[in-house]
Structure 1
Amino acid sequence: MGYYVKVEKGVNIYVEDINPASTKTILFVHGWPANHQMFEYQFNHLPAMGYRCIGIDIRGFGKSNRPWDGYSYDRLADDIRIIIDTLGLENITLAGHSMGGAISIRYMARHSGHQVAKLALIGAAAPIFTQRPDFPYGKTIEEVNNLIESTYADRPKMLSDFGDIFFARYLTKSFIEWFHGLGLIASGNATAKCLVSLRDEDLRNDLPHIQVPTAIMHGKQDKVCPFVLGELMHQSIQNSILIPFEYSGHGLFYCEKDKFNQELARFIG
């Protein structure tokens, strides 16, 4: 079942709601530069295991509206709050991948974990996506600036190049084309402005505010958000567990989809 939730004037967020009769709800927040369809292989199986799966397209991506502004973590976290309240969700698992993980962390700090019982961080772009003088991990600022420039110059090629480092297993040509298409659907402006947020935002002060059980699921071969980021989050989040995916890159939800679905279901209970 698909519908829209209004988060501010002129901005409607697309919501895919699968198995809404279940009381065990997982709200999925996708990563840059895709949309909720990246979780297709979770939506195929988890509802059959008794879970309500809600996927959203963050503003600027998928079927959601494409405002010119509003791509800071604060605004994107506020959108999540409005969706949770509008749908009347309670005691949910918030599951965020990559930038969606970063938005989820900001939500937990900014909104005091409102109605979230458990948190799943999936290859999350945190504590910081880019290197700092006191943080020698992740992408360099120059690398992200190049992605921004490439977005404005030749976005299809940028997406294709990014897709080449996303997964750590053999993929069919058809799957690569499908996944590439998820990024092409997005607004070019949103694609670039979310890269600015990824480059500039710092979540180190947000992590101690997370007070719920947290599963940190991270690929050991991740070339986008290296595994050390998962280790650092584990050190900073109380009551967290780190679940390594030995054979996965950034796309662990597909590289090891059976293990991913089992681990997520085991964590939620």
Structure 2
Amino acid sequence: MRKISFFILAWLGSVAAVAQPDTLSITLENVKYPYPLSFMPLKVEGQDIRMAYMDVKPTSANGKTVMLFHGKNFGGYYWGNVIEALTAKGYRVVVPDQIGFGKSSKPFIHYSFHKLATFNKKLLDTLGVQKATIMGHSMGGMLATRFTLMYPNTVDKLLLEDPIGLEDYRTFVPYQSAEQDYATELKTSFESVKKYYQTSYFTQWKPEYDYLVKIGAGVSKSADFPRYAKVAALTFEMIYEQPVCYEFGLIKVPTVLFTGKEDKTIVGKALLSDEEKARHGQYKLLGPATAKKIPGCKLIEFDNCGHIPHIEVPDKFLKELMANL
């Protein structure tokens, strides 16, 4: 019996080895990040979990820290060029994977921007950082806004890169329960992820963007993917039910809004008619309108650019970022 069991285990191991190039674990153990990772333990709703983060220190420090918040479909892995540029200018850069994303735990909890903000404040406190510039992309922009509203004395400056939540999705996207969203998430494939990224995130697809799709879709082949899909549904629900657009006028720190003028991102886009899609998610209109809501906000727009300027037009983005720190 032992010999047979050993044979089966060896066979399963060989199958896993063969499958690995196309299969990612739901905590991305086999995805290489640009800098070393650490983990902060947390206890949430009776569960012991951990929050992954990069803490990248410059060779010649200027005494300032920038914290980067990733988008919903990403993790800290896509910030490499931004981290490199910031550390070259003397900034310490802290890059968390939010709970439920990237290399962090995927617990079944009530997800809220308030709760995620408290985790990030605890991380800064743990690292001994009293003040930081907070920069958020996409969903990270919603979180950065909430963080700034909750902890204004901790934030030197707020930088928003194509944040979602510039409009209230509840007013035009049909409601779906978390269970309905979960059923949709279970259908994730390389083709579906690539189509969404092509139609929402970039103006022109380039082969170098495929790595984003491989990470976004690679987890769908994991045996643990149902957990990942469930968490994705819960965080979709968080975005839908917890708008920040009505509170932009309450921001009291210097703010810079960076947007790609061709960004057409809508959370829940697949639920809309073509007519509705044309009426919403237009960042060339949402950007200026949002900048007017935030006291003293500076708007920087990028022509021929979609949802991720730091990847699509990196040189232009990094130039503007450095000029506005």
How does the TM-score come out when normalised to structure 1?
Answer: 0.87
Distance 2:240 2:174 in 1: 6
2:37 paired residue number:
2
Higher helix share: 2
Residue of structure 2 in register with 1:41 after alignment: 81
Question: Which stretches in structure 1 are left out of the alignment for 5+ residues?
Answer: none
1:141 partnered with 2:170:
no
Whole-angstrom CA distance in 2 between matches of 1:64 and 1:19: 21
Residue 247 (str. 1) matches residue 304 (str. 2):
yes
Structure 2 distance, partners of 1:47, 1:168, is 29
The equivalent position to 1:181 in structure 2, one of 208, 211, 214, is 214
The reply on whether 1:82 has 2:122 as its aligned counterpart is: yes
Moved more, 185-194 or 113-122: 185-194
For this pair of structures, how many residues does the alignment match? 259
Structure 2 residue 292 is matched with structure 1 residue 232: no
**2:197 is the alignment partner of 1:163:** yes
The counterpart of 2:156, out of the listed 117, 135, 142, is 117
Secondary structure of the structure 2 residue equivalent to 1:262: helix
Percent sequence identity is: 24
Which has the larger displacement, 177-186 or 191-200? Answer: 177-186
Give the Å deviation of 1:7.
3.6
The answer for the alignment partner of 1:93 in structure 2 is 133
Task: Report 1 or 2 for greater relative contact order, CA contacts < 8 Å, sequence distance ≥ 6.
Answer: 1
Could you report, residue by residue, the CA deviation over 1:180-222 in whole angstroms, capped at 9, with x for unpaired residues?
Answer: 1332458222222111122222213321221111000011000
Decide whether aligned partners of structure 1 residues 217 and 153 sit closer, same or farther in structure 2, where only a CA change above 3 A counts.
same
Residues 1:85 and 1:209: Cα distance change in structure 2 (over 3 Å): farther
For 1:54 and 1:255, how far apart are their aligned partners in 2?
Answer: 23
1:128 paired with 2:163, answer no
2:112 is equivalent to residue 55 of structure 1 = no
Whole-angstrom distance in 2 between the partners of 1:63 and 1:122:
22
Q: Structure 1, residues 93-116: CA drift from partner, whole Å, max 9, x if none?
A: 10000100001111112x232411
Q: What SS does the corresponding residue of 1:60 show, helix, strand or coil? A: coil
CA contact (8 A) 1:27 1:54 kept: yes
SS in 1 for 2:289: helix
Residue 54 of structure 2 corresponds to residue 16 of structure 1: yes
- Contact kept? 1:220, 1:248, Cα under 8 Å: yes
| Bigger-Rg structure (1/2) | 2
Maintained 8 Å contact 1:245/1:252 = yes
Q: Is the 8 A contact 2:170 2:241 kept in 1?
A: no
